[in-house]
Amino acid sequence: MGTYNENTPLFETKRAKGRVIYRLFTVTLFMAICFIWAYRVLNIPRDGENGRWVWIGLLGAELWFGIYWILTQALRWNQLYRSTFKHRLSQRYHENELPGVDVFVCTADPRIEPPIMVINTVLSVMAYDYPSKKLSVYLSDDGGSDLTFYALLEASKFARHWIPYCRKFKVEPRSPTAYFVTIPSSQHHPNQIKELELIKKLYEEMKDRIENATKLGRIPEEARLKHKGFSQWDSSSSRREHDTILQILIDGKDTNATDVDGFTLPTLVYLAREKKAQYPHHFKAGAMNALIRVSSNISNGKIILNLDCDMYSNDSLSIWDALCFFTDEENGYEIAFVQFPQSFENVTKNDIYCSSLLVISNVEFHGMDGFGGPAYVGTGCFHRRDTLCGRKFTEDCKIEWKGNEDHIRLKSTEELEEETKPLASCTYEQNTQWGNEMGLKYGCPVEDIITGLSIQCNGWKSAYFNPKRKAFLGVAPTSLSQTLVQHKRWSEGDFQVLLSKYSPAWYANGKISLGLQLGYCCYCFWASTSLPTLYYTVIPSLCLMKGVALFPQVSSLWFLPFAYVISAKYIYSLAEFLLCGGTILGWWNDQRIWLYKRTSSYFFAFIDTILKRLGFTESGFVITAKVTDEDVSRRYEKEIMEFGDSSPMVTVLTTVAMLNLFCFAAVVKKVIVKETIIRLDELMSLQFLLCAVLVVINWPLYQGLFLRKDEGKLPSFLIVKSFVLALLACTSFTLLY
Ligand SMILES: O=c1ccn([C@@H]2O[C@H](COP(=O)(O)OP(=O)(O)O[C@H]3O[C@H](CO)[C@@H](O)[C@H](O)[C@H]3O)[C@@H](O)[C@H]2O)c(=O)[nH]1
Ligand SMILES: [Mn+2]
């Protein structure tokens, strides 16, 4: 058996099919883009002529779009697909020889990340199909909340029943909530039915206790008295000011810590790192680094899995998949992390906020993988501990995975806790390389992207694994404003990565492949695409109203490249979307959100980054809510747009929408009065088309402004505000031009 085993690979990679055809298509599109550029350059109105500056602006925008399009080709040029052979791995390794795996779950606020959701995630990973003594689960609570601690304490007791139940009946998924809503009732063994009822009852009781406590904002007195852990909270603790709270709720080394069947349980640890107002805590990156240190003293697993608190495990075998990459004798040693896609449980069929990241997950990350590996996106990612801590790649980095790290510990759990606590103090990192050369990087709202990039710059590869059965499922935002806020954080972060010392544009030069550099740039330039997009959605419409033509006539030969680029680009994008499993309406929604993100989130991200550079603002981390109230939820299910708080971002959207409506109406009026019918379809057809499409795609905004009566509509003062702003823009353009 042994000899046969050592030579067979544990994973396989395949290049995408149809690459030659795709590349040819790309070349034709690129040529057409060059013609568009040529048209703009050759036809610039002369000095003093009407529309010179508008034209030059348009040239700038089209140059940018063309260049950006080239960048996006890097993500499509060389796609790679992977599959694993888990059974070979389990043949090759004895249970005792498997590496330890430490799972880090991060939470930060019990009001928008409900404790019951958090422990469902925790339970789903505790129930992984992996030897318990090799598995440890750490919950980092940046909210420093005793409610979360209470929930975790409850979960530690429930786990004693839940894990054996999962093991016995091989259930999937292993997040209790998700499991109870999906159980197929018919195919159960009579034995299971009884146990199912029992476990369900236990779960419901626990859930009630936790939800009651969360609702009241207070722990039941008897529970508080029963567990000494609560004594670490006193009247002065708050989320911004408290000492380190570290509790090993289940110590895997403790022979008494067993489930109801008498088997060892995985280690379970609660950590609220020390917080003091005068020390920056660096958000999730700070939490992760504290976890890295604390875990190194407790379980020190060679593999670290990082999850956001809403991302439960949907496949109990994912650890095996990840290990196939790391332990493959031939190619595994250069892989630093294995990223799974971010998938979401709550997306609706046509995904109105395009939160399922369909194309990114099913196309673009495979493209990055073809050039050296995907980015790290913060959740659903397995890391090697040493590379996360800053180890550089050298050819002799081959790590020996096999080995029994099972030493006997002489210290008691309490001693271990006390000894470990200082590792999570505010001052620990002073004068160290943490947040810089070690651990996750500080100072960037997308700590994940910048950290992953720096690991790749250290010479490592990463792997993207996108299995059929989703490995992790999370909660996507359910309102427009939340989506915009999330994307503002992402695009701002990515833009900062571009300007940082780890910039994919210069620092990464020569350290990672050119394709990967361009791939990263695609995301890093999100923020800057806002300017040309805003220009394109405003100026041509205003010119249309004024009667200034900016595009070639239908009868001109120059019309052809425009027609080709527009149709080829959109037909391709629709095909790609459908191939990823989307719907036609979903694609249309995707185009809308594409526009909204670019004209609001990215625009504000751009401005904020500049302000931050000049020292005016500090960037923070606005946590995405994972709860939705019932009313909002109902509208979300029906795919009715929910606008949420009316932020300045939404004002930009409504103003642009209103402006296009004005321009469109003005032109239609002229046509009706028969003034310009001929000029319109001759000279201004494309411009008219652009304006009309903008009006059509903005339909939900007009509905939200004028037609809807429900709570999710836009506030009426926004009608006035955007009306005045749009009117102002139209009149000043008419007067000044
Ligand atoms: O001070 C903080 C702030 C956030 N978090 C946790 O970070 C995670 C991500 O926050 P969320 O609000 O859900 O942001 P998303 O935009 O959904 O997250 C994506 O983008 C982030 C970077 O912007 C990454 O950190 C995440 O891992 C990635 O999933 C959550 O579990 C939070 O509890 C902390 O632990 N401490
Ligand atoms: Mn999230």
The CATH number of whichever domain residue 161 belongs to comes to 3.90.550.10
How open is the CA angle 155-159-163, to the nearest 5 degrees?
Answer: 150
Atom 36 in ligand 1: residue holding the nearest Cα? 284
| 475 in a structural domain | no
Q: Is 56 exposed, middle or buried (0-12, 13-18, 19+ CB in 10 A)?
A: middle
Distance 662 CA to ligand 2 centre (A): 38
| 14 in a structural domain | no
Is there a single domain that holds both residue 313 and residue 217? yes
Is there a single domain that holds both residue 431 and residue 314? yes
| 467 in a structural domain | no
| 34 in a structural domain | yes
Task: Among 402, 432, 462, identify where a domain stops.
Answer: 462
Atom 5 in ligand 1: residue holding the nearest Cα? 284
Is there a single domain that holds both residue 56 and residue 198? no
Task: Give me the DSSP letters along 577-594.
Answer: HHHTT--HHHHHHHHHHH
Is there a single domain that holds both residue 27 and residue 121? no
| 495 in a structural domain | no
- Residue 405: the pLDDT is 64
Question: Nearest bound ligand to CA 345?
Answer: 2
Is there a single domain that holds both residue 54 and residue 122? no
| 715 in a structural domain | yes
Catalytic positions, written as ranges: 142, 448
The answer to whether the peptide bond before residue 176 is cis (omega within 30 degrees of 0) is: no
Distance of CA 108 to the CA centre of its chain: 17
Q: Look up residue 552 and give its two tokens.
A: 């070639």
The runs of H, that is alpha helices, within 409-506 are 413-420, 447-457, 480-499
Is there a single domain that holds both residue 96 and residue 196? yes
Which atom from ligand 1 is nearest to the alpha carbon of 477? 17
Establish whether 417 is an annotated binding residue.
no
ipTM of the modeled complex: 0.99
**List of long-range contacts for 560-568, beta carbons under 8 Å, 24+ apart:** 560/32, 560/35, 561/32, 561/33, 561/35, 561/36, 561/39, 562/36, 562/686, 564/28, 564/29, 564/32, 565/29, 565/32, 565/33, 565/36, 568/25, 568/28, 568/29, 568/32
Distance 475 CA to ligand 2 centre (A): 7
Establish whether 102 is an annotated binding residue.
no
Q: Shortest CA distance to 196 belongs to which of 168, 155, 165, 156?
A: 165
First-to-last alpha carbon distance for the chain, in angstroms, is 82
Establish whether 234 is an annotated binding residue.
no
Domains: count for the chain = 2
| 587 in a structural domain | yes
Question: Nearest bound ligand to CA 378?
Answer: 1
Q: Which residues form the pocket of ligand 1, taking CB atoms under 6 Å from any ligand atom? A: 106-108, 113, 140, 142, 283-284, 287, 308-309, 377-379, 445-448, 486, 489-490, 493, 621, 623-624
Distance 342 CA to ligand 2 centre (A): 9
Is there a single domain that holds both residue 227 and residue 331? yes
Domain of 216, in residue numbers: 92-346+374-462
Where would I find the beta strands (DSSP E) of 178-330?
245-250, 267-272, 303-308, 312-313
Quick one: DSSP state of residue 45?
P
Is there a single domain that holds both residue 574 and residue 673? yes
- Residue 3: the pLDDT is 44
Which atom from ligand 1 is nearest to the alpha carbon of 306? 27
- Residue 675: the pLDDT is 62
Question: Nearest bound ligand to CA 625?
Answer: 1
Q: Shortest CA distance to 339 belongs to which of 312, 377, 391, 313?
A: 377
Atom 17 in ligand 1: residue holding the nearest Cα? 624
Which atom from ligand 1 is nearest to the alpha carbon of 309? 31
Is there a single domain that holds both residue 559 and residue 703? yes
Which atom from ligand 1 is nearest to the alpha carbon of 342? 29
| 472 in a structural domain | no
Q: Look up residue 689 and give its two tokens.
A: 């088309």
Which atom from ligand 1 is nearest to the alpha carbon of 486? 16
Task: Among 438, 462, 486, identify where a domain stops.
Answer: 462
Establish whether 253 is an annotated binding residue.
no
Distance 624 CA to ligand 2 centre (A): 6
Distance 107 CA to ligand 1 centre (A): 8
pLDDT along the chain (737 residues), means of 10: 65 93 96 98 88 93 98 96 95 92 97 97 98 97 97 98 96 95 74 90 98 94 91 87 96 90 96 96 97 96 97 98 95 96 96 95 98 98 96 86 75 94 96 96 96 97 97 96 96 96 95 97 97 97 91 93 97 97 97 97 96 85 90 93 88 97 92 66 84 97 93 91 95 86
Radius of gyration of the chain (CA): 28
pTM: 0.95
Task: Among 462, 479, 495, identify where a domain stops.
Answer: 462
Question: Nearest bound ligand to CA 490?
Answer: 1
Measured between alpha carbons, how far is 488 from 445 in angstroms, rounded to an integer? 10
Atom 7 in ligand 1: residue holding the nearest Cα? 284
Is there a single domain that holds both residue 53 and residue 133? no
Give the other-Cβ count within 10 Å of 318's Cβ: 26
Is there a single domain that holds both residue 585 and residue 443? no
Atom 4 in ligand 1: residue holding the nearest Cα? 284
Distance 282 CA to ligand 2 centre (A): 17
Pocket residue to mutate for ligand 1, from 308, 447, 489, most atoms within 8 A of Cβ: 308
Is there a single domain that holds both residue 51 and residue 127? no
